[in-house]
Amino acid sequence: MKRILSIAIGALLLSGIALVAAHAQLATADLSLSTVPLDPQPLQSVQIRLQSFGFDLSQATITWNYNGTPIASGTGRTTVTVTAPANGQVGTVSATASSTDFSSTTATLLLRPASVDVIWEGADSYTPPFYKGRALPANNGLIRVTAIPAISAPRGLTYTWSENSSVLQNSSGYNKNSIVFQNDTLNTLENIGVTATSTNFSGNGSVSIAPVKPTVVGYFNTDGYIDYANGSTDSLSTADTGTIVHFEPYFFSTPLSISHDLTFAYTDSSGNNIETGDTQNELRLSRPDGGGQSQFTLVINTIMYSLQNLSRKFSVNFN
């Protein structure tokens, strides 16, 4: 009788051990998926990483699927690279891992690429009428940057802005899709980044902006018509005996107007001041005795930004 009881107890103990072992094999792993980059752009190459903080995946069998199609498998295969879907579409990445330490466990990740375009311009940068290019910012000038999320993005996004990797707290927030900031003279390149987020949207964009030196272009003014199609930064030629040269100061910071924010001064080749009329950015010249060339120096000073001051030598050839 004692022998039968001992056998029964031993059987129960073995059964308990088997149940414990079975329970250990049925444990699920704590799997998580992440992407590099964190917020992929449409059609960008994306690395997907599988991680577990509780189990060793180096000996696990891992099978990868993208939109239901197997794309990779192998022991310890914890990374794959896929192409993000097009803008407005969703891609589903799943990784199934199994091991002697845990039962088959699947982690799933939705790829929602979200592009954010970033455009910029000099906020107070002057360009003449009918100028078709972008107003470029000068040293110390104001720069306006605007984020334009993809058309599929929801409304009511929160924007986080950064300048040269430093978050601009005061400029970030709900619906703040644009910023205006002043270039620091120490920054020859402004790197601006933005992240736009909501409950089911996350996209980012960035841009590098190099401030420029202001310049000036001279044009002939003929009876009130300014020939903007033919200008020069140093020399003009005419067959007339007299002419008016009209100067346009490109990319100077002029919050109000040229006449208010800039001053123009002219000196001849001997250093004598040349008087102008009512329009300070125009100079009336006559053919020198015997013909030839009129040479002069134009100096443009700004009221607010001394680093934008300019001195340029010009000449007008009377043919």
- Is residue 15 in a domain? no
- What pLDDT is attached to residue 278? 86
End of a domain among 96, 111, 126? 111
Residues 43 and 102 in one domain: yes
Question: pTM above the 0.75 mark?
Answer: no
Which of 59, 82, 111 is the C-terminal boundary of a domain?
Answer: 111
The residue ranking higher by pLDDT, 305 or 271, is: 271
What pLDDT does residue 307 have? 84
pLDDT tens by residue, 162-199 = 999 999 999 999 999 999 999 988 889 999 999 999 88
Residue 63 lies in a domain: yes
From the list 153, 29, 34, the residue with the least C-alpha distance to 93 is 34
Is 197 strand, coil or helix? strand
Q: Is 137 within a domain?
A: yes
Average pLDDT over residues 3-17: 45
Q: What is the pLDDT of residues 195-216, one digit of tens each?
A: 999 887 788 889 999 999 999 9
User: Counting beta carbons within 10 angstroms of the beta carbon of residue 177, is it exposed (0 to 12), middle (13 to 18) or buried (19 or more)?
Assistant: middle
* 73 and 165 housed in the same domain: no
Residue 253 CB contacts under 8 Å (≥ 6 apart), including other chains? 122, 124, 125, 126, 138, 140, 141, 142, 261, 302, 304, 305, 308
Residues 224 and 313 in one domain: yes
Token digits of residue 83: 């192409």
14 lies in some domain: no
Whether the per-residue pLDDT at 35 is higher than 80: the answer is: yes
Non-local (6+) Cβ contacts of 305 within 8 A are 138, 139, 140, 141, 252, 253
- At 90 the pLDDT is 86
Domain annotation covers residue 17? no
pLDDT in tens, 125-154: 999 988 988 999 999 999 999 999 987 788
The enclosing domain of 128 has a CATH number of 2.60.40.10
Looking only at the bridges linking them, the beta strands covering 215-222 and 116-122 are unpaired
- Looking at residues 16-36, what average pLDDT do you find? 67
Same domain, 169 and 232: no
* Same domain, yes or no: 48 and 77: yes
Expressed as residue numbers, the domain containing 273 is 215-318
In this structure, is residue 294 part of a structural domain? yes
15 confidence band (pLDDT: 50, 70, 90): very low
- For residues 37 and 91, membership in a common domain is answered with yes
Q: Domain boundary residue among 79, 96, 111?
A: 111
| Residue 2 in this model has a pLDDT that exceeds 80 | no
Q: Cα(first)–Cα(last) distance of the chain, in Å?
A: 133
- Asked if 228 and 314 sit in the same domain, the reply is yes
**How many structural domains does the chain have?**
3
